[in-house]
Each structure stands twice: as C-alpha cells, then as structure tokens.
Structure 1
Amino acid sequence: MPPKKNSKSDTAIVRSMTEMLKDYEHRVERYETTVCNSIRKCFKKALEEDRPVTRFLVDPQDRRIVEYWDDDRLIEALKEDTDEGVTIKKKKVRSKPVKEDKPLVKLLPLIESIRARRYTLIQELFVWDCHVENDDMVALSGLLIKGCYAITRLELIDCFLDAKSIGTLVANTAVSKSLRELCLDFNEIGESGCRVMCNGLAKSRFLVHLSLCFCGLTKQCGLWLGNLVAETAIRVAAFRQMEILCPTVFDGDKWIIR
C-alpha cells in the first residue's frame, strides 16, 4: 500500500514556512553568522500548528555573562595563583582545547529572507539583546517603508543603537502607515540620538506609542519629546528616567512615567 500522505505537508502555509526557514538558514550560512534559536522555534511552532508566523522574535541569548569581582575577591584569587605557581611548574598539566565562540546572531539574514520570500504576513518584530549594525538597520528600514509589510509593532531593546542608526530608522518610520508602536528601551542614545529621533518623527502621522526607557535621556530631551508628543499623533510616551521631567512639557495623559 502507498504511504499515507500527511495532510499538513500539502498546505500552502507549511510549504511557505518550510521554504522561508531554509532560505533564512542559507543566508545565515552565507553571512557566516549564527541561526537564531528563537526564530527557529517560531517557525517550528507555526509548522506544528499549521499557521503562518506573524510575530518574529530575535532573542539570541549569545552574550557572555560578565561577573564583577570586588577588591577582596580579586586579591584572594591573585594570592591563590601565586601560591599554586610552584606546584603548577612541577606538574605538566594538559591544557584543555579552547572552545571557539560562535559568531553572533545577525538581523540582516532574516530581513533579507522576508523580502526575498515576499512574506507579507509579518505583523510584529521583536529584537532583544542583539547587536544591530548599520547594514541591519538599513535593511530593516527598507522593510518598514514597503507598504506590503504591515508591521504594527517594532521592538529594538538593548541593541546598541546610536544616533546614526536611529536616524536611519526614523526616516522611514515616520512615513510608515502601518507601524503603531515603537519600543527602543535600553539603548543609550542620549541627547544626540534623541534629537535625531525627534526631528525624524516630527512628520509622523500614524505612530501612537513610543517607549524610551533607560535611554540616557536628559531634561533637554524632555523638551524635544514634549514638542513631539504635542505636534504628532503619538498618544502615549513611556519613560523610566525622572530626570527628564519638566512641568512645562508634561501635560495630560500622554506620559507614562514608570
């Protein structure tokens, strides 16, 4: 008897998801970077449930954990190394091979795969703890300006964004008709980045939610953001830094100070 055909294998959704995952992995290999496990999980879950992926999560979790020592612990460790120095010289200790680190996850292969496969079902893109470089931001901005990709929420949290990358992003964010929420938490953009962002979003008509928690903002940033909220469609602006508070610009229910 011929083998039974899997009903899911013939659906257009499963074929599209499978082809896009392969395309993403191929581009990752070409750029000599690493496949993001969270993206792979998104695809596998969608394949199991026979549905398209509408929310993409780029959460590499590939950063090394940094342990900070106090002075007493550092002195104790140095003493132990000195005391064991003579013993180590007498014994031949076979050194373990150092495990090579994998290259960091890059956003560019995913963006290129979405555009190459013309995947227009994407609605939300979350990028957490991923180093977003200039070429990544250029590709992402190009995706936002395309009317066929109806992305409604974009999160770039702790992505090492600077004034240049912010300028590239907001230039196309301001003209996007689908983007409603933008979260840039934990990016030390400071005054220079905030000024570039406010100038770029001055003509925004569709963005309604902006989050800038822990972004190195100052009182001067509060003035720029006050004008931005007053003159654009932004209804909610979230912050966590009390030093930007200024009574002359904080008015009404548009501000959420956490």
Structure 2
Amino acid sequence: MPGKTGKKGNKKGKKKGASKKLPGRNETAEVVVKRLLKCYEKNCAFTESQMCPGIRDGMKKCIENNSLLVKFILQAPDVVVPDTPPILLDPLLATLRYERYTFIRDLHIWDYPMSYNTVASVALLMEKRFYPIRELEMMDCLLTAPHIERLSRSFRASQSLTTVSFDYNEFGDEGCYKLCLGLSGNVNVVSVSLCYCGLGVISGKLLGEMVSTTAVRDLYLDGNDLECEGVMELIQRCADMAENEAFEREEMARRKAEQEAEEEALRKTGRYSPLRGDLSMGSGTDSARSPSPSAKKKKKKKGKKKKKKEPPPPPRVGPWISKLHIANNGIDGYGKGANFAPVICMKLISSLIMNSDCFAEIDLEDNLIGDLAGRELLEALEKRAEAKLPSMKVRTTHRLNTETFSAIVKLGAGLKKKKKKGKGKKKKKK
C-alpha cells in the first residue's frame, strides 16, 4: 500500500524562515549574504589580502540563521605573522558597493591605519543615501585633520547617521575644528565621541558652539586637556538655557498655584461652577442628548483599533546636553586660574545640574576638583532632587572628603564606565 502523505510530510526538510523574502527583493537573506561572502572572498583574493575573521564568521552565522549582517567590525590582527596577507578595508568597501548591500547599519574600524584614499572611499559610501549607516566608529586609525575634514563633509549628505566616534586619534584642535565645521547645520547626529584625541582648551569653545547649533546632545571627551576654561566654554550656553527653562517652569508653577487659589476662593463663596457641573444642571433635553452607557460601550468597541506607532520626533536643535563625559581632562587647580578654577567650573556645572531636566550623565573621574568644588556638586544634586527633576548619574574622583564623596555616590549612582572595544587600549601619555 502506498504510504500516507500528511501535512507534516510536506514540511519535512524545510528551514525555519527559509521562505521569508526580503522586502523589495525576490530573494531571502541567506541568498543575499551568501553572495556577499563570495564577492568579499573574490575581492580579497584579487587584492592579495585576507578576509577579516570577524566579518567572515559573522556572514557565515547569518547564512545559517537566514538573517542579515548589519554590523561590520573590521579590526587589524593583534599579532602580525610574517608572510601573512594583510587585512584591508578596500575589498570590503568594494564588496558593499558591488553587491549594493543596503542593509548595513553600523561600520566599526579598529586599530587600522587609514590612508587619505581609504578615508575618501568611506566618505563616498556614506554620501550614497541608500546605505543607511547609523553609527560610524574609527578607533585608533591614525586619523589627522585632513582625514576628519573629508569625513565630516559626508555627514551633511547622510540622513541616517546618528553616532560618530573617533577615539584614540590624536588630530588635536585642528581636527576638532574640521569636525565641528562638518557638523554645522546637522540635525541627525546626536552623539559624538572624541576620547584621547589631543584636544585642548580651544576645542572647548569649538564644541560649545557645535552643541548649541546642532542636535548633538551626548559628548564623550575623556582623556583630553580641556581644563577648567575649556569645560566652561563648552557648557556656558547650555547652562544659560537651563536657567531660562527653570525660570519658565517656576513661572508656570506660580500661575497654576494662583489659579488654584482663586478657584478655591470662589468655591468658598459659592460662585464657582465648573463646566461639567453646568452641563449636568441643564434641562432634560440636555440629558437626552448625552449618550447612554450602552452607546458608549459600542463606541469603545468600534474604536478598538491598534494605533500605529508614530516615528520618534527629530532631535531638538539647540544648547541642550544630555551626557557629558570629561574624565581625565586636567580639571584641577594647576591650570589657568590656580586654585579657584575648579570651584568656578563646578559652579557652572552645578547650574546645569540644578536647572536642566534633560541632563542625565556627567563623568568627572580622574580630575582633582578639590573639596570645595565637590561640595558645590553635592549641593546641586540635592537641589535637583528637591526640584523633583529626573535623577541623573554622576561619577567623580574619590579624592574628596569621605562624607561628600559618599553623598554624591548615593545621589548620582548608576554610571558605568564606557567599554573599551577591541584590544586593550594604551593610557593617555602625559
């Protein structure tokens, strides 16, 4: 007798999710990534280079899972073996362009010495708007001011870029100027990381102007030399805006309190009648017009449609700041202004803490601010709590009065150190 053919027999041997095709393409993710891997392999053979192990393994894993690779991390090997082909970035960029791989979201390049031509290739890729790159990171890539100038020109063309990170590239104040010039008028980038880039006091003023006129609200500047003067130039406009907003909040609270007091006084005299009360005291025709409970239920049932999630609003442009990491920046009593500089600097930061409702994080670790400045910081956190503003995360040096340090930790706990990606990084040279 012939064997029974049931429904289960038809599904035998099919991969989970194998029939799902990509939107706009008549093929699955597995097919797309397979072709991408094959093209990458050919380009590496043509340029006499080896494939990046992380990217190769990521592609193979996506093929197995029938998924797309959206995060590309290219990293030079920790140990260079003699007579071994190098890992190059150009074959990867050529592969993305040839296959028109529009699913890339994040591009990370670590410990890779970048030439100007390679930087230009990355910039040209970003200028093509059908490559929706959200995050660009080039860490320890020997970038100089001309490199930064070429890259930052591409930021204006990209409508998807939100995060830029150039940590451990010592391009100095000139490179910072080129970056801020490229970011002028940008309304998409919200996070910029320039840790250990050799920035000085001048960069504080440049970054302050950039934060005030763009959508950037998260700054990671650990390991530079901004000093007290540079930090004050950076946050001056943000502190002024925060004070104005605090004044407006107080005015609104005062008007609301006056209105409530006036209503209470009218209630005591019997002359206060809210709108709902007037409607309920009307004639029978008014009550007939009001819908019955059953009609209300019907309306509720009809209205039970799933609301589509609206896209998040675009980031605000203006002098607002959310995260500020300025650890190890020479904020101490040895720079300009001697012993009073840290106190003056902390007064300005304290104004930002007390008044800004969007200020969420500040990192002041490895800065010898002193006990007086630490006390200013603590009082600002206490006033912020009294004003019932959102709690914020704070990290500061442990070289403070024990009670002050413990109170700061209690009020501003929760800030974790930024993870160092790739291999262990060297400390800042003194």
Equivalent residue for 1:44, pick from 57, 60, 81: 60
Task: Look up the SS of the partner of 1:48 in the other structure.
Answer: helix
Q: Is the 8 A contact 1:62 1:104 kept in 2?
A: no
1:154-179 Cα deviation digits (max 9, x unpaired): 11111111112111110001331100
Give secondary structure in 2 for the equivalent of 1:130. Answer: coil
1:59 touches 1:129 (CA, 8 Å); kept in 2? yes
How many angstroms apart in 1 are the aligned matches of 2:224 and 2:152? 25
Aligned positions of 1:194-205 closer than 5 A: 194-205=176-187
**Under a length normalisation based on structure 2, what TM-score does the superposition of the two structures give?**
0.48
| 1:227 corresponds to | 209
SS at match of 2:94: helix
Q: 2-side partners of 1:18 and 1:141: how far apart?
A: 26
- Conservation of the 8 A alpha-carbon contact between 1:106 and 1:131: no
Runs (5+) with no aligned partner, structure 2:
1-11, 20-26, 239-320, 328-430
Structure 1 stretch 196-205 or stretch 157-166: which is displaced more?
196-205
1:110 to 82, 92, 107: 92
TM-score by length of 1: 0.79
The correspondence for 1:256, drawn from 325, 329, 340, is: 325
Could you tell me how far apart the structure 2 residues matched to 1:126 and 1:235 are?
21
- Closer/same/farther in 2, CA of residues 63 and 234 from structure 1, 3 Å limit: farther
**CA apart distance, 1:129:** 1.1
For the aligned residue pairs, the C-alpha RMSD in angstroms reads 2.1
Q: Do residues 151 (structure 1) and 144 (structure 2) align?
A: no
Q: SS at 1:250's partner residue?
A: helix
Moved more, 221-230 or 25-34: 25-34
Task: Note if contact 1:42-1:57 (Cα within 8 Å) is conserved in structure 2.
Answer: no
Residue 70 of structure 2 contacts residue 105 of structure 2 at CA under 8 Å; is this kept in 1? yes
1:229 and 1:101, CA in 2 relative to 1: closer, same or farther beyond 3 A?
A: farther
Deviations 1:181-221 (A, max 9, x none): 01110111112211211112223221110000001111111
8 Å contact from structure 2 (residues 185, 214) kept in 1: yes
Are the equivalent residues in 2 in contact too, given 1:154–1:182 (CA < 8 A)?
yes
- Are positions 1:17 and 2:45 aligned together? no
Task: Summarize the alignment of residues 97-176 of structure 1 with structure 2, pairs less than 5 Å apart.
Answer: 100-176=82-158
Structure 2 CA distance for aligned equivalents of residues 169 and 242 of structure 1: 22
| Structure-1 separation of matches of 2:83 and 2:170 | 27
CA contact (8 A) 1:198 1:228 kept: yes
Q: SS in structure 1 opposite 2:235?
A: coil
What SS does the corresponding residue of 1:61 show, helix, strand or coil? Answer: coil
Tell me the amino acid that sits aligned with residue 189 of structure 2: L
Aligned partner (choices 192, 197, 211) of residue 215 of structure 1: 197
1:32 to 27, 43, 48: 48
Q: Which string of whole-angstrom CA distances, capped at 9 and with x for unpartnered residues, describes residues 43-62 of structure 1?
A: 01111211010111112324
Counterpart amino acid of residue 213 in structure 2: E
Amino acid at match of 1:13: A
Write the distance in 1 (CA, Å) between the matches of 2:185 and 2:220.
20
Name the CA distance, whole Å, in 2 between partners of 1:35 and 1:111: 12
* 1:55-81 deviations in Å (ceiling 9; x for gaps): 1111232455xxxxxxxxxxxxxxxxx
Q: Is the 8 A contact 1:207 1:233 kept in 2?
A: yes
| Structure of larger gyration radius | 2
Say how many residue pairs are matched.
221
Matched position secondary structure for 2:104: coil
Letter in 1 for 2:39: D
Local SS of the residue matching 1:143: helix
Query: RCO higher in 1 or 2 (8 Å CA, sep ≥ 6)?
Result: 1
Where in structure 1 are there 5+ consecutive unaligned residues?
A: 65-98
Shift of residue 7 of structure 1? 4.0
In structure 2, how many angstroms separate the alpha carbons of the residues matched to 1:177 and 1:27?
Answer: 29
Q: Distance in 2 between matches of 1:53 and 1:23?
A: 15
Which residue identity does 2:137 align to in structure 1? Answer: E
Query: Quick one: distance in 2 between partners of 1:154 and 1:43?
Result: 20
